Structure 1
Amino acid sequence: MFSAKEKQIVEHLVAQLGKTNLDVGAESAKALVKFVCKDNYNRVEHCKAIVEFDGVPKLMNLIRRDNREESGLDEVILLCNLVVNAGNSKALKEARALNVIEGAKE
């Protein structure tokens, strides 16, 4: 488990969300899910760090671009955790994250 003060690892993973290679972005999302899951004591701080490092637009772009059937679940799980733990974020509101989550249910 990483301390909430140590944001470098989260920052590097968030940077990978924006890579042009979808596999790299998907693996980054998968790793970030472990930082924000309910079992992680520091999940709220990690969610805030992801938002702080401009992760929401990168994640939203990844979700839009990743149309492969077998993928996308980790990205949506990450987005859901961000909404739950950092939901009062301007970045999440601007990205219309709740609309994406609603669309994922279909």
Structure 2
Amino acid sequence: MNDTDAIAALGALAQEHRLGLYRLLMHAGPSGMSAGDLADRAGLSRSGLSFHIAQLERAGLVHARRQHRNIFYAVEIDAMRRLLTFLTQDCCNGNPDICGELAATAALCGTTPETER
């Protein structure tokens, strides 16, 4: 992950509806949620959902898949892992004990060459 990608991801999440959508999708897990259910749970109109989900998709945080006549959205978990790793890779200037659980979490979220973009 580079600065540009991190800024895009953080910018996409820096709005209450998009953050709420992302959290709903994170809770749903890899199977995701249908667009209709997602809009209903978030209290958004279908057009409002489309607007906000497009921002998350452009940032690479979610993806859509079509199943028959429905569209399902799900989180890109590897994208969040890369973002968390990027944000915490230099944690505490080489003193990971200062960061406590944050350093351990960042280590678990490390990316592999196959997931780097």
Both structures adopt the same fold (TM-score exceeding 0.5)? no
The structure in which a higher percent of residues are helix is 1
Structure 1 length-normalised TM? 0.32
The structure in which a higher percent of residues are strand is 2
Q: Larger Cα Rg: Structure 1 or Structure 2? A: 2
